[in-house]
Structure formats: structure tokens, C-alpha cells
Amino acid sequence: MDRFYVTTPIYYVNDEPHIGHAFTTLNADAVARWHRMLGEDVFFLTGTDEHGLKIQRAAEENGLSPLEQADRTSVRFKEAWRSLNISNDDFIRTTEPRHHVAVQQLLQRCYDNGYIERGTYEGSYCVSCEAYYTDDELGEDRTCPIHKRPVEHMVEDNYFFKLSAFEDRLTDWLTNSPDAITPDGYRKEALGLIRQGLEDISISRTSIDWGVPVPWDDGHVFYVWYDALINYATAVGFGSDDARFEQWWPATHHMLGKDILRFHCVYWPAMLLAAGIEDLPTYHVHGFLLVSGEKMSKTSFNKISPTAMVEEFGVDGFRYALLRDHSFGPDSDFSYESMLSRYNSDLANTFGNLLQRVTTIVGKKCGGVAPAPRVDSPVADKAATAIAETIAGWAKFQAASGLDATWRLAREANELLSETEPWKLEPGPEVDAILGDALEALRIVALLGAPAMPEAMAAAWARLGLPGRPEEQRIADAAVWGQYPGGVTLPEGEPLFPRLKAT
């Protein structure tokens, strides 16, 4: 069976879950669900990143141990993902013992292979950034350009990773693997970063102890970034179950935002190569969600809470609107108004209303018993096109274009009804044929829409009188025109997606 391993970044627990995190996680979830419906063996990972100075300091301020501090915030992500119905198979925390083992083994291998060396680093350090700055980067009065606070002069012994040794291999990889990073613009960007030259990077700290200890030198812990990336390997058995790791690793797909492209697409593959792991991941990079054209960041106040959106639109309404409105790749503008518009037009009007009117006509003209579709329906070809384009969209990790193609079929069904006006006809074969076709279109939309809206499409499935859930179907078998069985009595019900007014 084909395997499919998909990850989100692990989110830093110093932050609250916001809609940017939700966007990445939701896309990964929908893709994971789609691949399960393709019949693949899927492993979907998310988690939290819990080491580093910021956590240590936050813990001190709150009178907690660092782990207690991390516990408190990690759980917020778990809760957020539960409220969004995220189907992750694992939730990794970098503070777990399994992760420490994996980090130590992977970096020990790099060390043994000669790619980690001891050195010293000295410079101006911003505590908030956990980063050093060069003099020309500092603001007035030697302040951090981000936080506008004074930097500290620090000197420390460090271990350095010989990133510079990997320029050629990384360039070859990205040149010879055109699909290594999608959309393609981000592959070019990664190549550009490499072309500008790679310098060795410091990967350990002596100034703090909240991290994974360097196995060959007690006084050091690994810098948070270089333990964090390794989580992807940990979760599929690196360091604990080699057979499992070898099964899953070649099927790795990382989904991430463009802000962390450098770490994921340059540093991480270099670390893997240094450890002797030749299979490199495939990457799917997205842009930022903007609010009124402004970048959302954790320091800005215009963050939008996913929880609030769920209360407004329902889990699946929010999931659909977010996935459908923001293609995976470019930056795009997020607004409440556009989300409301998308919900009403696609879910309440096009789909929900279609289900409602078809059900009603079946009640009036067919005694409530659903007819079967025509094999040679005029809608069949259009359905085949919509299905093919939906499959193509999801294959490219483009939920938005997949959903767009799916919804064209719902519009086709509405057009069919307007053209044939079955409510004016006497009961009989003609009415049955039209309504059977409409029901079949609804079945296919519910099937293909399930990765985006698992519960709502399951509800629609039930309203169509179908057994089980759409997610239990296999796309290759079920996404073929003509399978709606007919003969079942359709249950009545309230509108699936009530039309919403602006608040």
C-alpha cells in the first residue's frame, strides 16, 4: 500500500494558536483526509516546539518549571486542533523522551561524520529574538531591530554545523527534483538562498539549559531550531524503530509557511545528508494570510481566533471557507466579510439549498423515495470533468482548486433543475431521471467535499439516504458517475448550512 506522511510545523508554545497556524494545519488535515480516501496508508503529524530561552524565561516569570510552562501552552494547541476536527495521528512535543533520543542520535551521527565542530561565538544578542545581530543590523542605541530593546554582548562556546559543505549537494537536489518544493517559486527561492552562499551555523548553547543536551559535551544544549526540525524524524521512529523510519521517511511531505522556508528547505535537508539520510522530504510552502493587507504576526494585535470563527461559521463552514478562499502558495487577504460571502454563496446557496430543494421535490413527486440517476445523463460528462479536476487539485496540494472544481458540479445540478423544472411535471420516469441525476451530483459533491468538511458532508450523506460516511469511500471506486442507488426514503431535515447575516 502506498504510504503518505504529512507534517505541519511544530508550533512554538510561546504563542497562542491563531488563524495562521490554523491555515497550515487545516490544509495538512484536508490533504491527509484526501489521501486516506485515496486508500493510502497515511500518517499525519503535528505538535509543539517547547525548548529555548523564551520558554525558560516565561516559566521563571510565572513561577513554573519550564516543562509546566510548556504543558500549559501545548495543551492550547491540542484543544484548538480538536475544535477544528484535525485528524492528526500523532502529536509530538519536543520535550518528550523519544524526541531527546532521536535528536541526540541524529546529531551524534552528524558529529561522527565530521560535520559538527567546536567554535566560539561572540556578538550582540537580543534575548527576545534568541538571536545575534551584526552591528549594522542594530537600530539606534544598539537596539534590536525587531523589539527595539537593547541587545546584550555575549560570548559563548558553540558547536557549529558545517552547512557550507552542502552547497553543491543541495543545489543538485533542488535542480534535479523539480517537485521537491512546490509551488515552484519557492524552489527557486531556496536555490537563490543557496546561491548566495551558506555559512556554518551555530547549533548549541551554553547560556541556557532548557533544551536537549549535547551527548558528547555536558555543558551544551542544542539550539531550539536544530532540535525542533528533528521532530519529523522522531515521530516515525528515528532513533527507536529503524524499520518503521525506513518505511515512512521516503513518503515525507512537509507543509509550512514561507517564513520558515530557510530552516526547512535548506538547513534541514543538509542535516539529514550530514547524518547519512539520503531521502529528502518534499515540501509544500504557503504564503501569509494578510488582514487588510498587513502581515499577521504574533506581536500584532489583529490576530483572529480560530475559535471565534468556529462559533460563527461552524467547524466545517470555517474549514471550507478558509480552504476554498486561500490558494496554497501566494499571500492572500483574509477578511470576515469574504468568509461570510463564501459561506453563504457556496454552502448555504449552491449546495445546502440544492440539497433542500431536491429533497422537497422528491417528497412531492416521488413519494419521498429517491430515484436512481441515468447512466447516460447529460450531467455525466460534466461530472467526470469536475471529478478529474478535483483529483488534480488535491494531488497538487491545492485544496482551493480542488473544491472549486467540485462545486462546479453542484452548479450543474442547479442548472439542470432550472432547465427541466421537475416541479411542474407529472410524476413519472422523466421526473425520476432528473431527480436521480441531481441526487447523484449531490452524492459526488458530498464525497469529494468530505476532506474539507468531514462532519457536514457525512450529514449530507445521511440526508441522501446513503449508509456510512463519505470518508469511508475510496475515491477511485466512488467518484464515478451513476452509483447513487435510488430506492431509499429520504429523511427530512433542517437546512444543513443556514444562511448567515453579517454581525
Partner RNA sequence: GGCGACGUAGCUCAGUUGGUGAGAGCGCUCGACUCAUAAUCGAGAGGUCGGGAGUUCAAAUCUCCCCGUCGCUACCA
Site for RNA in 256-275 (CB under 7 A): 258-260, 262
Q: Which of 51, 99, 144, 254 is catalytic?
A: 144
CA-closest candidate to residue 271, choices 40, 109, 458: 109
- Among residues 485 and 498, whose Cβ is nearest to RNA? 498
- SS3 per residue for 9-65: EEEECCCCCCHHHHHHHHHHHHHHHHHHHCCCEEEEEEEEECCCHHHHHHHHHHCCC
129 belongs to the catalytic site: yes
Beta pairing partners, 252? 5
Q: What angle do CA 483, 488, 492 make, to 5 degrees?
A: 115
Q: In the block, which residue shows the cell 445521511?
A: 462
Is residue 427 close enough to count as binding RNA by CB under 7 A? no
Nearer to RNA, 37 or 287 (CB): 287
Note if 100 is an active site residue. Answer: no
Query: Nearest to residue 230, comparing CAs of 271, 262, 259?
Result: 271
Residues 187-206 that bind RNA (CB under 7 A): 188-189, 192-193, 195-196, 199, 201-202
Does the footprint of RNA cover residue 224 (CB under 7 A)? yes
Between 167 and 333, name the residue whose CB sits nearer to RNA. Answer: 333
Residues 389-418 contacting RNA, CB under 7 A: 401, 411, 414-415, 417-418
Catalytic status, residue 295: yes
Q: State yes or no: is 265 an active-site residue.
A: no
Closest CB to RNA among residues 4, 211:
211
Which segment (25-33, 217-225, 314-322, 471-479) binds RNA by CB under 7 A? 217-225
Among the listed residues 110, 180, 348, 379, the single contact to RNA using CB under 7 A: 348
**Which residue of the set 78, 129, 258, 396 is catalytic?**
129
Residue 123 corresponds to which cell in the numbers above?
556578538
Residue choice 158, 231, 282, 406 for contact with RNA (CB under 7 A): 158
Sign of torsion over alpha carbons 136, 140, 144, 150 = positive
Catalytic site residue from 78, 147, 258, 396: 147
21 is catalytic: yes
- Beta strand 181-182 with 152-161: parallel, antiparallel or unpaired? unpaired
CA distance 174 to 179: 8
Distance CA 266, CA 160 (A): 16
Sign of CA dihedral 476, 478, 479, 481: positive
DSSP code per residue over 93-140 = ETTSHHHHHHHHHHHHHHHHTT-EEEEEEEEEEETTTTEEE-GGG--T
424 forms part of the interface with RNA (CB under 7 A):
yes
**In angstroms, what is the minimal distance from the CB of 131 to RNA?**
4
Q: Quick check: 224 and 240 in contact, CB under 8 A? A: no
Of 148, 188, 298, 364, the catalytic one is 298
Q: Site mask, RNA, residues 52-91, x = CB under 7 A?
A: x---------------------------------------
* Nearer CB in complex with RNA: 244/263: 263
Kindly list the catalytic residues: 18, 21, 126, 129, 144, 147, 295, 298
